[in-house]
Amino acid sequence: DAVGRLIQTTFPTGSTRAYSYGAYGQVTAERDELGRITRYEYDDDLHLVSRRINPDGTQVQYRYDHAQLLLTEIENESGEKYRLDYTPTGLIRQESGFDGRRTAYAYDLNGHLLEKTEFGDDGSTLITGYARDAAGRLLIKTLPDGLKVTYQYDRLGRLIGVDDGQQHPLAFEYDRQDRLITEHQGWGSLRYRYDACGQLKRMRLPDNSVLDYRHAKGGALTDIDLNGTPLTRHVYQSGRERQRQQGLLLSEYTYDDQGRLLAHAVGHQRDALFRRDYAYNANGNLAHIADSRHGQRTYGYDALNRLIRVRHSRDELPESFAHDPAGNLLMQDRPGPTQVKGNRLLMQGDRHYDYDAFGNLIRERRGRAQTLVTEYRYDSQHRLIGLTRPDGQTASYRYDAFGRRISKTVNGETTEFFWQGEHLVAESSENEYRSYVYEPGTFRPLALLDGKGPQKACPFYYQLDHLGTPQELTDYSGDIVWSAQYDAYGKIAALTLAGEDYLNQPLRFQGQYFDAESGLHYNRHRYYDPRLGRYLTPDPIKLAGGLNQYQYVPNPTGWVDPLGLSSNCPPPKKPGCEVPGGVSGAKVNDGEPRLPTTRSPPKDFGSEDKLDDHFQKHGSEFKTESKEEYLSMARFLVNHGTRIEYKYKGETRSGYLKLMGNNRKGEAKFAFLGTNQNNEITTLHAKSGKELWRTINGDAKDKTVRPAHD
């Protein structure tokens, strides 16, 4: 408009999204591509959103502390309330969830978390303690059950060891450029080498199999070799993969002008084997899939873009869904009433669900008189450690210090798991050994290696849908050895196994592993039940994951949640892809070190001149006496600060924050590090007051730190 405010966006398809503004320049209405309008009302004094009115008439209300301009209460679409209380410096002191669960936090004078207390519905408490060094680094975490997790760092502040006292120690080694080169876990190690650009060049797996990665000059992946022989070949154009060679199969990908997958065709030499075509409606939701193997599927949505129906062209029964005002999924194919309270599903049809004092599902009762009972058991960190089925069969689970599942035992038979960061890369049991290879930087599986060691590892290849969910597994010659059809929320509706030795692979939605003993999907931080389309336990990151802490995703045809924390749209993100909760920032930073990864963190200013210039301007703010000390401080902040995302000249950039205390006005003062798209450090200086909040949030009144999730 005349004052430079965005009033309309027109997409390559011709559809438009429009915005209206009030007297103070705030967005008061947003009309999506289908003409549906979301309205916003604002607090007269604070000019902060006080009410969001959804296209279906439901609404979310927000209330604030007028002194600190901080969010203090959210009332969701069902009229339930989430309350937040803060310290004088703006840190969350206590929060009470929609289900009434209360958590309290205590901090030291520098704002570092010292203690977290969780209050159960029955009056019980779980207390976690945090002990830190003078730099604020976490040294010891004392769990509610008394177990201690210890963290070790080298002289440069890099994490080198974690020990949970349960015979699961972790160790990490780095090169002179701060790159992870070795990580040791219980029964093996991963080793890494990098090319001149810092990209992963070689990875040695626990069974000594070697993966070699090659990239084009622009950084695009071109080849992956397994033990010296070709595994996959890739061709990229304009940043998108156009072709992929997997054994004798060639995949070709077609995209629309918005970067969405339109077609995936798989062929063998000159013969076309199968093909999937995708179509989208005006506001970006998946509308149709034409699958040459399984027929056609058509999708329908409600006014809030939530899936409500799936129609199949063949004999499969249609799928129908409903949602309560707060976004809880209600399965329409199950006769009988549904009862939800505080987003906890209590009853659906003949199934009844019981929870412990902290909101974890502990019992499912079904059948006549609810005599078929499945029981779930959790540790003090709300991790599932055991279950008992109605037939008496049992399973138990163990985890490492980062909460990654390292083993499961089902009726006396144990499977052990091995991880690369957040990715499951190997599993071993008495009768089989498997490794998993992913598309670099993603949770999309690329290949399964069956067999242990370079001489036995036999590759099978994943064929995925638009979300990255496995549809087929093919061998080198192109024969399909495993294929599956899913319902909308990930439960397998039809499974086909072929070949001499049946190969039943367990990967499902991105980041999920199917447990045959329970029907659940292990999803890194939580367990997902595809029969219900929801998690068994509330989101450990609370509001930062959205308003409904049991919800899997708002829409399973366009969203994924690889970590079981917060859902997101796979790239390219369509307009309006933000979590439809309106709040994504109220999160307590416990200061736990991040898992070391092979993704190179920013570590340099790009040139000596830039480093010298910023040292001269800001070195005194950190009492550094040389530019080397100043650079070391920057690297420390990258390793131990809170990563955020912020806008700079229209670009989304990564930054890092660490609380330094308060300025003379009593405002929180942070060390702020900025980066650019070249993964270079652009600045390191102290920020506080309006300048800080304007930089990271674009609004001096928005005093919320929103941690980014890798």
Q: Distance between alpha carbon 56 and the CA centroid of its chain, in Å?
A: 28
Q: Which of 378-387, 433-442, 522-531, 620-629 has the least mean pLDDT?
A: 620-629
DSSP string, 421-454: TTEEEEEE-SS-EEEEEE-TTSS-EEEEEESSST
pTM recorded for the entire structure = 0.88
Which residues are registered as beta bridge partners of 171? 161, 184
Q: Which residues of 468-500 are buried (b: 16+ CB within 10 A; e: fewer)?
A: bbbbbbbbeebbbbbbbbbbbbbbeeeeeeeee
| Strand ranges (E), 569-705 | 642-648, 651-662, 668-675, 681-688
Name which of 533, 512, 423, 421 is nearest 468 in CA terms: 512
By percentage, how much of the chain surpasses pLDDT 90? 70
Instruction: Report the pLDDT averaged over residues 684-710.
Output: 81
Question: What CA–CA distance (Å, rounded) separates 370 from 351?
Answer: 7
Give the Å distances, CA to CA, from 177 to 438, 556, 603.
25, 40, 8
Place of tokens 């890194």: 524
**Residue scoring higher pLDDT (408 or 314):** 408
Domain boundaries, the chain: 41-154, 162-545, 608-697
Instruction: Report the pLDDT averaged over residues 632-650.
Output: 80
Amino acid making up residue 47: H
The pLDDT value recorded for residue 334 is 73
Q: Which of 18-32, 294-308, 673-687 has the least mean pLDDT?
A: 673-687
Does the pLDDT of residue 689 top 60, yes or no? yes
Name which of 289, 326, 264 is nearest 557 in CA terms: 289
pLDDT in tens, 434-462: 999 999 989 999 999 999 999 999 999 99
Handedness of CA 66, 69, 71, 74 (dihedral sign): positive
Amino acid making up residue 71: L
* DSSP summary character for residue 691: H
Bond into 572 cis (ω within 30) = yes
The pLDDT value recorded for residue 521 is 99
* DSSP summary character for residue 369: G
Does the pLDDT of residue 118 top 90, yes or no? yes
**Three-state DSSP state, 390:** coil
Place of tokens 């509706």: 493
pLDDT in tens, 547-582: 999 999 999 999 999 999 977 766 554 444 444 444
Name which of 456, 444, 397 is nearest 205 in CA terms: 456
Name which of 445, 466, 444 is nearest 288 in CA terms: 466
Burial-class residue 103 by CB neighbours within 10 Å (0-12, 13-18, 19+).
middle
Rg (CA), the chain: 26
pLDDT in tens, 482-520: 999 999 999 999 999 997 778 999 999 999 999 999 999
Name which of 527, 562, 565, 530 is nearest 549 in CA terms: 565
The pLDDT value recorded for residue 580 is 45
Q: Cα(first)–Cα(last) distance of the chain, in Å?
A: 36
The pLDDT value recorded for residue 183 is 97
* DSSP summary character for residue 284: S
Place of tokens 């039940």: 529
Question: What CA–CA distance (Å, rounded) separates 343 from 280?
Answer: 30
The pLDDT value recorded for residue 600 is 61
Spatial strand order in the sheet of 668-675: 642-648, 651-662, 668-675, 681-688
Name which of 66, 54, 58, 60 is nearest 81 in CA terms: 60
Question: What CA–CA distance (Å, rounded) separates 368 from 91?
Answer: 50
Q: What's the CATH number for 162-545?
A: 2.180.10.10
Question: What CA–CA distance (Å, rounded) separates 66 from 46?
Answer: 7
Does the pLDDT of residue 585 top 60, yes or no? no
Identify whether the C-beta of residue 132 lies closer than 8 Å to the C-beta of residue 142: no
The pLDDT value recorded for residue 578 is 47
**What does residue 173 show for φ and ψ, rounded to 5 degrees?**
-125, 150
Handedness of CA 682, 687, 691, 693 (dihedral sign): positive
598, two tokens: 């092979």
The pLDDT value recorded for residue 48 is 87
The pLDDT value recorded for residue 582 is 44
The pLDDT value recorded for residue 579 is 44
Give the Å distances, CA to CA, from 72 to 50, 83, 91, 94, 364.
11, 6, 12, 10, 35
Instruction: Report the pLDDT averaged over residues 403-415.
Output: 97
